[in-house]
Amino acid sequence: QSALTQPRSVSGSPGQSVTISCTGTSSDVGGYNYVSWYQQHPGKAPKLMIYDVSKRPSGVPDRFSGSKSGNTASLTISGLQAEDEADYYCCSYAGSYVVFGGGTKLTVL
Amino acid sequence: QVQLQESGPGLVKPSGTLSLTCAVSGGSISSSNWWSWIRQPPGKGLEWIGEIYHSGSTNYNPSLKSRVTISVDKSKNQFSLKLSSVTAADTAVYYCARISAITVTTIDPWGQGTLVTVSS
């Protein structure tokens, strides 16, 4: 199985919106509504930001939103803040196992 | 709330077996969740290794399946990872984590991670 495809990097200025894509296949992203997103700051464990494609755990700002169309899921961060600068990983169920994306580095300019 | 803590040797020799344990506190390992191992080589992305349910049912990453064994010890509220025939490519930070049995990619919480280096 292959990792899901994410852009290596994205950037935006404070207050702007950015979208990170996550492309898989009909065997993972496209086949199930089980896509989640994780934020990871340097030296820290990943933190759950979105689950079940578009649901936010309690405590995650509503600036973070998720969606899916076909084999591609997306994470949108609106009203960018300096503390959003981090690596972001998507994750999908693939039928008895789990696959991650390669990760996207978000830079807040 | 539930907390997880990894423990085990930080250095393993090539061709040896990597062994780690994850202690679960603040909740029961017999709850309706899967318990997972995930790794991250230095400077690289996340890789799911596998998971176990308290019944002993397991799922493994197909690319690692021949070398991985995950087990559970309900009496100690912990689960373990064994990875055999290791090489330098297995050097990584290893995380243990809880995965919801309902929303099957909801991975939360995570342990703090432990670095395992494969070197002679």
Tokens of A65: 């939103």
Q: Quick check: B50 and B61 in contact, CB under 8 A?
A: yes
pLDDT digits (tens, 9 = 90+) for B79-96: 999 999 999 999 999 999
Residue B79, strand partner residues: B22, B72
CA atoms within 13 A on the CB side of A11: 3
Residue B24: pLDDT band by 50, 70, 90 thresholds? very high
CA dist B73 to B29, B37, B61, B112, Å?
Answer: 9, 15, 21, 21
For the segment A22-33, the average pLDDT, to the nearest whole number, is: 96
Percent of chain A whose pLDDT exceeds 90? 94
Tokens of B108: 């939360």
Q: Quick check: B116 and B10 in contact, CB under 8 A?
A: yes
For the segment A84-93, the average pLDDT, to the nearest whole number, is: 97
For the segment A94-109, the average pLDDT, to the nearest whole number, is: 94
Mutation target among B94, B105, B107 for the A interface, most CBs of A within 10 A: B105
- Smallest CA-to-CA distance from A51 within A91, A80, A106, A105 is with A91
Contact B110 A46 (CB under 8 A): yes
Percentage helix, strand, coil for chain A under 3-state DSSP, each rounded to 5: 5, 50, 50
Q: Report d(CA A80, CA A68) in Å as an integer.
A: 21
Beta carbons within 8 Å of B13's beta carbon, 6+ residues apart: B118, B119, B120
Q: Report d(CA B67, CA A40) in Å as an integer.
A: 28
Tokens of B30: 């017999």
Q: Quick check: B62 and A1 in contact, CB under 8 A?
A: yes
Residue A35, pLDDT > 90, answer: yes
Contact B46 A57 (CB under 8 A): no
Predicted local confidence at residue B87, as pLDDT: 98
The whole-chain average pLDDT of chain B stands at 95
pLDDT digits (tens, 9 = 90+) for B50-84: 999 999 999 999 999 999 999 999 999 999 999 99
In this complex, is the C-beta atom of B70 within 8 Å of any C-beta atom belonging to chain A?
no
Write the DSSP symbol of residue A15: T
Predicted local confidence at residue B51, as pLDDT: 95
Q: Which residues of B touch A28 (CB under 8 A)?
A: none
The whole-chain average pLDDT of chain A stands at 96
For the segment A37-55, the average pLDDT, to the nearest whole number, is: 97
Q: Which residues of B touch A92 (CB under 8 A)?
A: 105
Nearest-by-Cβ selection for A99 from B48, B50, B100: B48
Tokens of B45: 């992305």
Predicted local confidence at residue B32, as pLDDT: 87
Write the DSSP symbol of residue A101: B
Q: Quick check: A4 and A23 in contact, CB under 8 A?
A: yes
Residue A1, pLDDT > 70, answer: no
Beta carbons within 8 Å of B104's beta carbon, 6+ residues apart: A34, A93, A98, B34
For the segment B89-112, the average pLDDT, to the nearest whole number, is: 93
Question: Counting every residue, how long is chain B?
Answer: 120
Predicted local confidence at residue A85, as pLDDT: 98
Residue B102: pLDDT band by 50, 70, 90 thresholds? confident
Q: Report d(CA A52, CA A34) in Å as an integer.
A: 5
